[in-house]
Structure 1
Amino acid sequence: MTQAFDAQAQQELLESRAAQALSLARQLGADACEVGASVDQGVGVSVRQGEVETVELSRDQGIAVTVYLGQRKGSASSTDAGEDSIRAAVEKAIAIAHYTGEDPMAGLADAHLMARELPDLKVHHPWALTTDEAIELALACENAGRHVEGITQSEGASLSTGEGVRVYANSHGFIGSQRGSRHSLSCMLIAEDGAGMQRDYEYTSARDPSLLQKPDAVGRQAAQRTLRRLGARRPATGRFPILFDPSLASGLIGHLMGAIAGGAIYRQASFLCDRLGDSVFPQWFNLEERPMEPGAMASSPFDNEGVQTRNNRFIEQGRLASYMLSSYSARRLGMETTANAGGARNLRLQVPLESRASLLKQMGSGIWVTELMGQGVNSVTGDYSRGAAGFWVENGEVQYPVEEFTIASTLQSMFKGLVAIGDDTDTRGSIHTGSWLIDEMTVAGGED
C-alpha cells in the first residue's frame, strides 16, 4: 500500500499553501486571486481469470492559481504544491494576465456570496484495506461470476479505493476545505453461444465502503446480465416506444444539464437558449439539486468559486425554471449565480414512480435499451442518434435480446414524450433516477 494518508495533515498543508499563494499574489501586484489545491491517494487492483493483472498505487496533487489585474485574468497550475512551485505558478499567472484582454465580466464571485455554513457532509469514509485484501475481494467478485453456468470467459474484476482533500481560497478571505472518499468494485464477463459472444458488466460504487454490494453479488449480477444477452437479434426498423435503463436515463439528465449550463447559454450553443419558463417536460416532472445531502456522491457546501451551495429547482412542473450558472456565466447573462461553478451536485427527481412491470405494460411493443454506443448527441440542435442494444418487448413482456441497431430522435421530443419513470432508482452516482419510458423513437435495425 501507499504511505498512510493523513487527511488532517494534508488539509492543513494545503490550506497553508493556498494562503501562501494568495499572499504572494498580493505582493506581486494582483488585485484579486483565487487558489484551488487538492491531493488524492488510492489503490486500484485488477484480476483476470483468477490471476492478478495490475496493482496501481496512486498519489496525485496539484495547485491552480488564478489572478486578476483589474479585469485581466491569468491562470497557471502545478502538480507540485511545494513553495518554489507555488511561487512559479503565481508569477506565471501574473505574467499571463499582463497579455490577456480585458473582460468586464471577469473576477471573483461576490464576497457576500461566500459560504458561511461548512458542515461535515459525511463524505469522507477511509477504507483501511491492504493490497492483499483488495486483491482477495476482486478475486472473490470474479470467481462468483465465472462459476455461473454459461459464463465462458472473464474480462476481469477491478477494485479501487481512494480518498483526498480539496481546498479553495480567494482574496475575499474565504477558505474552504473538504475531505472525501470513493470506492468501487466492478466485474465484466463473457458468454458464448452459436450466435457469437456477448459481454456485460456490473459495478458498485459508494463513498462509504460499508454501502458497497458484496463481491459475490456483483459477480453474479455481471453473469446474469451477460447471459441474458445471448441469442441477440436485430430488431425491425420502425418507430417504437423506448425504455431507457436507469444507468442510461441518468445520461439523458446529463444532456439536459449540459444544455442549461451557463456557458452553453451565453454562447447561444444550446437548444434550450431563451427557454426559461417554457414547458420542456410533462407537467408531473420536477428536477432539483441537493448539494448538502449528507453522504451523497457530489455533496459540497461550496462551489468552485467558494459560493454557498443551495438546493436549486431546474425543472418545475415540467417547465425550465433555472439555468445552471457560475458567477461568470451569470454576469454574461445579466443574472445571478446559482452556485454551480463546477457543475450540478446531487440531482434528484420529484416525480411519481412506477414499477418495471407497469412500464413494460404501458410500452406494449418496443425496446428496453440497456446499452448505448457512440456520441451522436448534438446539444446545439438537440439531435439524438446512438447505437444501442437491449431487449425486444411484445405485449408488455420481454421476448429476446436485440443488438446492432440505432435509436434516433431529438432531445426536445424525448423530454416532451416522457411517459413515466420507474421505481428502479440507480443511486450509484450523483444523478439518481429510475428507468425512463419515452413514447416513440426511430429505430433503424433490420428489415421493416
Structure 2
Amino acid sequence: MAHDLASLTHALLDAARKAGADSADAFAIDGTSVSIDVRNGGLEQAERAEAIDIGLRVLMGQRSANVSASDVRPETMEAMALRAVAMAREAPEDPYIGLAEADQLARDWDADALELFDDSPEPAPAALEDDARRAEAAALAVTGISQIDGASAGYGAQRIHLAATNGFSGGYARSSRSISCVAIAGTGTGMERDYDGDSRIFQSDLRLPEDIGRTAAARTLDRMSPRRPKTGAYPVLFDERISSSLIGHLLSAINGSAIARGASWLLDGMGTQVLPAHLSLTEDPLRPRIMASRPFDAEGLATRPRTIVKDGVLTGWTLDLANARKLGLQSTANAARSTSGGPSPAPWNVALTQGSESREELIAAMGTGLVVTSMIGATINPNNGDYSRGAAGFWVENGAIAYPVSGITIAGNLRDMLRSLRPANDARPWLSRVVPSLLVEGLTLAGE
C-alpha cells in the first residue's frame, strides 16, 4: 500500500514541535526492489523487497539529534520526536548546524524534466529472469567460457520526500533497471573471471542481455594466462571502466567535510592547478535520465550546474550548509543524507573534458606500459595523496597490447598523477561520472 510521504514528513514535524524542538526536518523514503539471479540455466534466487523508512532530525539551539524508524504509526512518530528531543538536549553544541534560510530554499523545480522515473509497468519476475537467462546463455555460447559465476537482472523504484520547519516541502521518484553477468574461463589456478553490466533509469535505454553476456565472456577470455611485468616506472592507461576512480579521489579530497577537518591533500589547493590546463571538471545535477540527478539537495537547496575545475584550476569545494558555514562559504547544494543521519556533502553528476584521441591511439603512444582494467584494494594517504593499488590489465609493448597481467601494484602521488592526465575520447555519456580512459605518465609498477 502506497504511503503519502508528504503527510508523513509533516506529521513528524508536528510531533517534533509538540515535543519541544526549536526546528526540525523530516525525510521519508519508500521503495520496491526485485532481483533475479540465475545459474546454469536455472533460477538461483528471486527476491522482492518493499520498505518504508522515516527519519527525523531535531535541533535544540545548536544541538541536534537524529532518529529513524520503519514504523509509520502516529504513536511511533510521537515517540521518535520525544526521543530525538531528549537526545538533542544531551548532545554537544555545534555552532555550524542549522536549517537553510527561507531565501536559500529551492522553488519552482520541475522533477519531471529530469526524467528520473520510468512510468512503464514494473517488469514481471519472469521478464527479469528471461533477461538474466539470455545474458548467461550468450556468455556460455562463447568458446572457452567454462561457467557463469552469476547472471542477474533487477528493478527498483523509490520515492523520497523532504520537509522542514523552515517551510520546505518536496519530493520526487526515481527508478532503475539493471542486468549483469560474470563469466569464468579456465580451471584451478588458471581460472579467470570478468564481468559486464548495465544500469539505467529507463528500461528502453538498457543494453541487450546478449550484448552484456558476450562482453563479459570476451573480457574474461582476454585475461587468460596473465603474467607479471618487470618492476619499474611506466606510463599507465586507466581504462574507461575504472578511470572514474581517479576523479573520485579528487572529489574526495575537495569534499567540504575533509577540508573543514583539515584532512585532505588538497587543503591548500583552492585556486591552484590540479589538472592539466586544457581540462575542466564540471558538475550537472540536472542532466535528464542520469542516476545522480536531483532537483534539490537533502537540505532543500536548488541544485545547479557548477564548474569544479576550470582550465585545470580548482575553483571550489563540495559543500553542505554546515561545512560551508565552517569555512565561511556558501553551500554548493551538495547535501546528501539517509533517514538515520544528518546531511553531509556528496558530489552529483560530474564530467571531465574528453580528449581528441581514441583509447587505441593512447595505447599506441605509450610505447611500453600498462593498461589497467581492474583494481583491488587501495592505500590512499588522505594528507599527502600518496597512492597505491593492486591492479590487473594488459601489458603494452611497441604501442600494442602484448599479453594480460595481474598481481601487480601501481603507486604514485595523486597530485602528480592528476596534473599529468591525458584523456581519451571514449567516456560513456549516460553515466553519472563521465570520465574517459586516462593516460598517466611515470607510475611505479611492482611486478616481478
So what's the TM-score if we normalise by structure 1? 0.95
Is 1:374 matched up with 2:377? yes
Give distance in 2, aligned partners of 1:47 and 1:367. Answer: 35
1:36 maps to a residue whose letter is: F
Pairing partner for 1:61 from 52, 55, 63: 52
- How do 1:64-103 residues align onto structure 2 when only pairs under 5 Å count? 64-103=55-94
Across the aligned residues of Structure 1 and Structure 2, the Cα RMSD in angstroms comes to 1.4
Per-residue CA deviations over 1:60-101 (Å, capped at 9, x if unaligned) read 221110111111111111122332222222111111111012
Deviation at 1:428, TM superposition (A): 5.4
User: Unpaired runs of 5+ in structure 1?
Assistant: 1-5
* Superposition deviation, residue 385 in structure 1: 0.6
Q: Where does residue 154 of structure 1 map in the other structure?
A: 148
Look up the equivalent residue of 1:124 and give its one-letter code: F
Separation of aligned partners in 2, 1:271 and 1:194: 42
Q: What is the CA–CA distance in structure 1 between the aligned matches of 2:108 and 2:246, rounded to whole Å?
A: 32
Q: Any idea what the Cα deviations from partners look like across 1:14-50, whole Å, max 9, x if unmatched?
A: 1001011112212222111011110110100101111
Matched to 1:405, the amino acid is I
* CA–CA distance in structure 2, aligned partners of residues 89 and 379 of structure 1: 37
SS at match of 1:375: strand
Secondary structure of 1:154 counterpart = strand
Aligned to 1:124: 117
**Which sits farther off after the overlay, 123-132 or 233-242?**
123-132
In 2: Cα distance, 1:49 partner to 1:428 partner: 32
Moved over 4 A (4+): none
> Which ranges in structure 2 are unaligned for 5 or more consecutive residues?
337-345
- Counterpart for residue 3 of structure 1: none
8 A Cα contact 1:117 1:308, kept in partner:
no
Give CA deviations for 1:268-320 in whole Å, capped at 9, x if unaligned: 01001122101111001101110111111111110111111111111111011
Task: Report the Cα distance in structure 2 between the residues aligned to 1:313 and 1:60, rounded to whole angstroms.
Answer: 37
What's the counterpart of residue 309 of structure 1? 303
Match of 1:433 in 2: 435
Partner residue, 1:47: 38
77-86 or 329-338: bigger deviation: 77-86
Give the Cα–Cα distance (whole angstroms) in 2 for the partners of residues 163 and 173 of structure 1: 27
Establish whether residue 409 from structure 1 lines up as the match of residue 400 from structure 2: no
Match of residue 180, structure 2, among 181, 186, 189: 186
CA contact (8 A) 1:417 1:440 kept: no
Find the aligned partners of 2:282 and 2:10 in 1 and give their Cα distance.
Answer: 35
1:374 partner SS: strand
Q: Separation in 2 of the partners of 1:193 and 1:395?
A: 32
CA distance in 2, matches of 1:68, 1:111: 17
Q: Distance in 1 between matches of 2:220 and 2:298?
A: 40
Structure 2 Cα separation of the partners of residues 359 and 85 of structure 1: 60
1:334-373 equivalent positions in 2, closer than 5 A:
334-342=328-336, 343-373=346-376
Q: Which amino acid aligns with 1:66?
A: R
1:279 equivalent to 2:273? Answer yes
Q: CA deviation at 1:380?
A: 2.5
Question: Cα distance 1:186–1:427, how it changes in 2: closer, same or farther (>3 A)?
Answer: farther
125-134 vs 154-163, which moves further = 125-134
Partner AA of 1:321 in structure 2: T
Quote the Cα distance in structure 1 between the aligned partners of 2:12 and 2:61.
18
Q: Is the 8 A contact 1:284 1:351 kept in 2?
A: no
CA drift of 1:429 comes to 3.5
Cα offset for 1:396?
Answer: 1.3
**Does 2:328 align with 1:326?**
no
Query: Matches of 1:220 and 1:401 in 2, distance apart?
Result: 19
Q: How does 1:237-252 map to 2 (within 5 A)?
A: 237-252=231-246
Question: What is the DSSP-based 3-state SS (H/G/I as helix, E as strand, rest coil) of the residue aligned with 2:252?
Answer: helix
How many aligned positions are there? 436
Matched residue type, 2:61: G
Matched-pair contact (CA < 8 Å) for 1:353–1:423:
yes
Contact kept in structure 2, 1:233 and 1:401, CA below 8 Å: yes
Q: Which moved more, 1:354-363 or 1:278-287?
A: 354-363
In 1: Cα distance, 2:176 partner to 2:38 partner: 20
Q: Is the 8 A contact 2:244 2:433 kept in 1?
A: yes
Q: Say whether the 8 Å CA contact 2:152–2:181 is kept in structure 1.
A: yes
What is the aligned partner in structure 1 of residue 339 from structure 2?
none
In the alignment, the residues of structure 2 paired with residue 138 and residue 428 of structure 1 have an alpha-carbon distance, to the nearest angstrom, of 22
Displacement after TM superposition at 1:335 (Å) = 0.8
Contact 2:269 2:314 in 1 (8 A): yes
1:391 counterpart residue number:
394
Once the 2 structures are TM-superposed, how far is the Cα of residue 172 of structure 1 from its aligned partner?
1.1
Q: Is the 8 A contact 1:284 1:352 kept in 2?
A: no
Q: Secondary structure at the match of 2:85?
A: helix
Distance in 2 separating the partners of 1:377 and 1:194: 33
The amino acid of 1:367's aligned partner reads L
Determine if contact 2:372/2:392 at 8 Å carries over to the other structure.
Answer: yes
Task: Determine which of 15, 20, 23 is the counterpart of 1:29.
Answer: 20
Which digits, 9 at most, give the CA deviation of each residue in 1:206-261, with x for residues without a partner? 00011111011100000000000112101110000000011211111111111101
3-state SS of paired residue (2:14) = helix
Q: Is 1:400 aligned to 2:406, yes or no?
A: no
